[in-house]
């Protein structure tokens, strides 16, 4: 019913400004926004007179009107990441599917995306004890690309507690600085940070901490307020046989 209700609406507001909005499937809307955002960011490199919000609005209008936005981006700029357990993909389960930056989606909808002829499959092996990715398979030869993809799949979003920008649109940040502190370019020293929060990391008065292994993140503002969060796993951790036995057979008192 929700899919059948998709539509485009126009609401006229004050100051000769109006809002044009569309109700679309989440994967389509995310792909549209990703492409507009990528084009705006590329234009931003040579245009300092408009901020990113203004550039996105102008690119959006140019695309709809058939005008040339003045920039081209690769097809990968409109990619949407869908995570789905293998048992859900095989219709053995109806849980566990989610889209980065959006959250859980119905399994049937996830399988529709998966079976689209234009979809690209990528194997992500996860540790059953923690639910975190451990291997992406041989999908890329260059190590830098593999490391980036693994960090994107693991962290999913910017590690700043209140930011939900998808990791694929974030900078690859060395937790321990590469040049100054000799930090390595590895998954154990990496975190995705959006461009804004990447620049804020070393600003005076801000204290950042992120543990890539355990997925805990905290940030303290110049006012002394601390915000904390914990990374969402790609798959829910499975309890060990020992845990299950202890739950079923509690010790006598």
Per-residue pLDDT of the chain (253 residues; tens, 9 = 90+): 888 999 999 999 999 999 999 999 888 898 899 999 999 999 999 888 999 999 999 999 999 999 999 998 887 777 788 888 888 998 999 988 988 878 888 999 899 888 888 888 877 767 666 676 666 554 443 435 777 888 888 888 899 988 888 888 888 888 877 767 777 777 777 889 999 888 888 888 888 888 887 889 999 989 999 999 888 777 777 665 555 555 555 555 4
CA torsion sign for 171, 38, 122, 102 is positive
What pTM was estimated for this model as a whole?
0.57
Collapsing DSSP to helix, strand or coil, 74 comes out as coil
Q: Is residue 198 part of a domain?
A: no
Cα distance between residue 60 and residue 36, in whole Å? 6
Q: Is residue 44 part of a domain?
A: yes
Contact 114, 92 (CB under 8 A): no
Q: Is residue 123 part of a domain?
A: no
Please name which of 66, 61, 63, 59 lies closest in space to residue 41, comparing C-alpha atoms: 59
Number of separate domains in the chain:
1
Contact 224, 114 (CB under 8 A): no
- Host domain of residue 42: 7-78
Q: Is residue 69 part of a domain?
A: yes
Q: Is residue 15 part of a domain?
A: yes
Q: Is residue 39 part of a domain?
A: yes
The β-bridge partners of 21 are 9
Cα distance between residue 87 and residue 236, in whole Å? 13
CB atoms within 10 A of CB 77: 18
Q: Is residue 90 part of a domain?
A: no
CB atoms within 10 A of CB 200: 15
Q: Is residue 42 part of a domain?
A: yes
Backbone φ, ψ for residue 30 (5° rounding): -65, -40
Where do the DSSP E strands lie in the chain? 7-12, 18-23, 82-83, 98-99, 103-104, 125-126, 133-135, 171-174, 190-193, 207-211, 216-220, 226-230
């Amino acid at each position: 019913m929700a899919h059948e209700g998709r539509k485009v609406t126009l609401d006229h507001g004050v100051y000769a400004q109006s809002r044009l909005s569309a109700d679309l499937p989440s994967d389509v809307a995310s792909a549209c926004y990703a492409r507009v955002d990528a084009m705006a960011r590329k234009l931003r490199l040579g245009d300092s007179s408009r901020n990113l919000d203004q550039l996105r609005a102008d690119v959006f209008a140019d695309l709809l009107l058939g005008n040339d936005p003045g920039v081209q981006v690769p097809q990968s700029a409109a990619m949407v990441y869908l995570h789905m357990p293998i048992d859900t993909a095989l219709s053995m389960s109806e849980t566990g599917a989610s889209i980065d930056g959006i959250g859980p989606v119905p399994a049937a909808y996830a399988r529709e995306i998966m079976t689209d002829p234009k979809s690209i499959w990528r194997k992500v092996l996860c540790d059953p004890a923690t639910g975190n990715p451990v291997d992406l398979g041989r999908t890329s030869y260059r190590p830098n690309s593999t490391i980036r993809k693994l960090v994107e799949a693991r962290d999913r979003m910017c590690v700043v507690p209140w930011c939900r920008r998808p990791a694929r649109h974030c900078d690859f940040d060395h937790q321990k600085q590469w040049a100054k502190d000799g930090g390595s370019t590895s998954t154990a020293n990496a975190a995705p940070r959006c461009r804004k929060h990447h620049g804020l990391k070393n600003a005076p008065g801000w204290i950042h901490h992120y543990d890539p292994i355990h997925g805990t993140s905290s940030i303290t503002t110049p006012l002394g307020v601390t915000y904390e969060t914990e990374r969402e796993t790609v798959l829910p951790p499975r309890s060990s046989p020992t845990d299950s036995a202890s739950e079923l057979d509690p010790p006598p008192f």
